[in-house]
Amino acid sequence: MSENRKTGKLYIVATPIGHPKDITLRALEILKKVDAVICEEIRLGNRLLNTLHIENELLALNEHNETREAQNIAFRIAQGETMAIISDAGTPVFADPGQQLIKLLYQMDVPVSPIPGPSSLMAALSLCDFPIDRFIFAGFPPRKSPERESFLQKYVGQTTPLILMDTPYRLTKLLTEVQSLFGKGTDILLACDMTQKKETVFRGSIQEILPKVSGQKREFILILNLQRNKRHP
């Protein structure tokens, strides 16, 4: 790339995971001044910007169009535009679309800068009353049941805290699977709907917590305290 050509910049902007006031002053400034905001879904992006009283162009980048759109967006940024990428909630790119775009920008020597802020992962970890100096982030299990069992089975026998996430409607399914594979006495922390009105943090064994949330649809992060795992048949 020519040294005389003006290049743009991409900002990785963290946004609220629930409570709309959990937005940094710097994030507000960036979202207002960039040429466009990249989001997963236009509808949700519009809702966020409207809540923050910000008007800006929105570009959709998600799992369905990332291969194609990442190139178009990277070209615009390389030509001098500045953009911000946001996720539906929390810190972008982490378990969300955006990596292909960032990879292209690095190859084009275009600067990428993080605007740190809310993160559901860090929020959940901050609630732990057990050591988290090391942990395993396993993320989202596969959708299909046989693959899910194989995925979870890999972590049976671990003694490092294990972090799992899934869609709200699979909360009961995941807890049931974990109880079956890791044991009903497995010590867990289940953080539901963090920063929202229905925020609830459950601590105890999975056999104690599962009945309390069974059948519910909630945003959640599940942390298994495998250091204290007491496996039951």
Mark which of 64, 98, 118 sits at the end of a domain.
Answer: 118
DSSP 8-state class, residue 142:
P
User: Which of 86, 102, 118 is a domain's end point?
Assistant: 118
**What's the pLDDT score for residue 227?**
86
User: Is 233 a member of any domain?
Assistant: no
- The candidate with the shortest Cα–Cα distance to 218, out of 184, 194, 187, is 194
Q: Determine what percent of the chain is predicted with pLDDT higher than 90.
A: 88
CATH assignment of the domain containing 202: 3.30.950.10
Over its C-alpha atoms, the chain yields an Rg (Å, rounded) of 20
pLDDT 10s digits, 61-85 = 998 888 889 999 999 999 999 999 9
Same domain, 224 and 209: yes
According to the model, what pLDDT value does residue 94 have?
A: 80
CATH number at residue 56: 3.40.1010.10
* Same domain assignment for residues 106 and 156: no
Instruction: Give per-residue pLDDT as tens, 112-142.
Output: 999 999 999 999 999 999 999 999 999 999 9
pLDDT of residue 148: 96
Q: Which domain holds residue 41?
A: 9-118
Q: Give, to the nearest 10 degrees, the angle between helix 171-182 and helix 206-213.
A: 160
Scored b (16 or more CB within 10 A) or e, 34-63 reads bebbbbbeeeebeebbeebeeebebbbbbe
- Tell me which amino acid residue 115 is: I
Residues 6+ apart with CB under 8 A from 133: none
> Are residue 166 and residue 201 in the same domain, yes or no?
yes
Question: Quick one: pLDDT band at residue 3, thresholds 50, 70, 90?
Answer: low
137-181 pLDDT, tens digit each = 999 999 998 899 999 999 999 999 999 999 999 999 999 999 999
With beta carbons less than 8 A apart as the criterion, state whether 125 and 135 touch: yes
Same domain, 103 and 127: no
Inside any domain, residue 188: yes
pLDDT band at 108 (very low <50, low <70, confident <90, very high): very high
Mark whether 140 and 217 lie in a shared domain: yes
Same-domain pairing of 79 and 168: no
Same domain flag for 125 and 113: no
- Whether 3 is covered by a domain: the verdict is no
Is the C-alpha dihedral spanning 33, 34, 35, 39 positive or negative? negative
Same domain, 84 and 158: no
Residue 233 has pLDDT above 50, yes or no: no
Using pLDDT thresholds of 50, 70 and 90, give the confidence band for residue 102.
very high
Quick one: pLDDT band at residue 5, thresholds 50, 70, 90?
Answer: low
Same domain, 161 and 98: no
Strand partners, 178: none
Q: How many domains does the chain have?
A: 2
- The single residue listed with the structure tokens 């466009």 is 36
Share of the chain above pLDDT 70, in %: 95
E-strand ranges in the chain read: 9-13, 36-39, 57-60, 82-85, 112-115, 136-139, 162-165, 187-192, 200-205, 220-224
Per-residue model confidence as pLDDT tens digits over 175-217: 999 999 999 999 999 999 999 999 999 999 999 999 999 999 9
